Amino acid sequence: MDGETLLDSFRVVKRIAAGGFGIVDEGVDHNDQKVAIKRELASNKVSRPILEHEYHVLKSLAGHNCIPDVKTYGIQGNFNVLVMDLLGPSLGDRFRDCAKRFTLKTTARLGIEMLDAIEHIHSHGFIHRDIKPENFLLGLRAKSHIVHLIDFGLTRPWRAVTPGTRFPSSSVKEDIGVIGTLPYASQHAHLGLEQTRRDDLHAFTYTLLLFARGGLPWDHIRGGTRKHCARRILEKKLSWTPTRLCKGLPDELEELATHCLGLGLNESPDYHFLRVKLDTLANREGWIANPRFEWDESGWEASTASKVEIRPLDPLPNVSLKRGDIVLLKIIPEKTLDYEPAPRDLDPSFFPHQIANAEEDKIPFRPAVIRQIISQDSDPMYFKLQVFPLAQRNLSELSRRRRGCFRPVETLVEVSSGRHQCFGDVHIYTTSLLPPFNASNISAWLSLPNEVLKHLESDLACVPTPYSLVYDSDDEETRAIRRRLPKIWSSGNYVTEIRPCRTTDLMGTTSTPFRSINGWIPDMLYVEELRHQENGGTGVLGDSDSDSDSDEDTEFWDWPRAVDRRLSCTCTAVIDSTSG
């Protein structure tokens, strides 16, 4: 990369986002010009880093307004680093700001901008394979009207394909699933077929109709395993013809959808025809007289109607649980895998899970202290619990590094009598993978005073929680569990059964659930291994090449593990939960 700006000349200012494959920061160069700095952990085990692939694609596509200017790429310390233009909000952000519906004028004009970007990458011999609202970003300041296409991690050269050719998966160990993001992926991508330019146009059509309609007919399908979810979405897509999708919309959009969704495998899209249709619609809706997007109009304010309000549930009618209560939680695999968000309308294409009752019975109740009770207005029937796990354990048995995650709980209060109960070797602790759990209402027997809980929370907030690191001094149970963890974990919510924790449950117990130092990680692993198998995966969820380190290495505990450029889908399985 001779002649390019050195990485050391860029300075990080603040964090923008963090995801499964790395971190994006806002930074400045030596002239105080703002840039975006994307970083991922480097690894000798990775033959083709995601950021290196994206860098080469961006360099090949450079020279068009729709492509962000890439500054440099290189390795800095433990990281692969890509520096590029800092951009503004995504079209997905603007869509939510506009109460999840754009005017036809805005829809048509954005369609022209998106189509220009897609045609540009096609003309350079690439297909994107992940067209969606979140991958189109507006520029900043003078470029705020320009739509930029980003995220080229799935991009590859396109070529003429023989009908029926499936995506080559000989280099991977298992079924790679749908390449793209499920709501926008083409029907052919759902079937695992090799993608061509038509598949980008399919995703473009679904994105455009999302803007014009305010939603897609399969938006609500998010429950179950990824494979079940993908099949249900595909069945919906097959039943919704262009005419049905465009009912009530201008003829131009129906003609555009008919052309894009009807393209042949190797057929060249008629970009001019599509651009004329969008231009005609935009001009009829007033773009020439007022060439502004709706968010550029004076007096425009971002809508809050589409945002889910999360609020503390104490006090709410018929809810007796509160912060500080001690409970027993047990993850229910079948209900977790079957979870369907509101509105719950499972269709016949959703298949039951093959879970042996004996296996589900092995999952134990584990003790916890409630940190927060939250409710979502979109699903008023259920509430979620954020918790800390409890353990009755002699800490001298643990590795020195893990001991720092524990704090003693000397006294608990009986809710009914107010009497204080003293316990020996009972500890509150923090660990990786502590998602909110979904539970129903019960009455608690024991509680931790709020002032004590606040002190413990403050104390534990500064404690790093290693993910898959294994230490020489770890006990065998912890080592076995951590080695089963996958490199990337899609965290979420799990359906649980809840019971009150009584005094007798914490008095002198020697049972494994009360001595565990791994929280609900073993149970979540079991659920995700079931999900992995139902999605067609082979072997174990993790691999034998998990990270191992000394007790002293804490610098990169919170970073995602380095992985090869992804070949599979960018969507994650939805593991939100419900009960009942």
What residues are annotated to the active site?
Answer: 130
Phi, then psi, of 521 in degrees rounded to 5: -60, -45
Q: What is the rounded CA–CA span in Å between residue 283 and residue 265?
A: 32
Q: Which residues, in sequence order, are CB contacts of 420 under 8 Å at separation 6+?
A: 411, 412, 413, 414
Q: Supply the angle between the helices 104-123 and 271-284 in degrees, to the nearest 10.
A: 160
Q: Which amino acid is at 435?
A: P
Tokens, residue 415? 């809710």
Q: Which amino acid is at 10?
A: F
Per residue, the 3-state secondary structure of 411-448, as one string, reads EEEECCCCCEEECCCEEEECCCCCCCEEECCCCCCEEC
Which candidate, 575, 404, 429, 546, places its Cα nearest to that of 488? 546
Element (H or E) spanning 199, and its range?
Answer: helix 197-213
Element (H or E) spanning 207, and its range?
Answer: helix 197-213
Which candidate, 356, 275, 232, places its Cα nearest to that of 110? 275
Angle (CA) 140 145 150, round 5°: 65
Q: What is the rounded CA–CA span in Å between residue 279 and residue 243?
A: 20
Tokens, residue 232? 């249900």
Phi, then psi, of 29 in degrees rounded to 5: -95, -170
Q: What is the rounded CA–CA span in Å between residue 461 and residue 404?
A: 12
Q: Which residues, in sequence order, are CB contacts of 32 under 8 Å at separation 6+?
A: none
Contact indicator for 533, 120 with CB cutoff of 8 Å: no
Q: What is the rounded CA–CA span in Å between residue 293 and residue 146?
A: 11
Q: What is the rounded CA–CA span in Å between residue 289 and residue 480?
A: 67
82: DSSP letter? E
Q: What is the rounded CA–CA span in Å between residue 118 and residue 97?
A: 25
Contact indicator for 202, 132 with CB cutoff of 8 Å: no
Positive or negative, the CA dihedral 231, 438, 214, 90 is negative
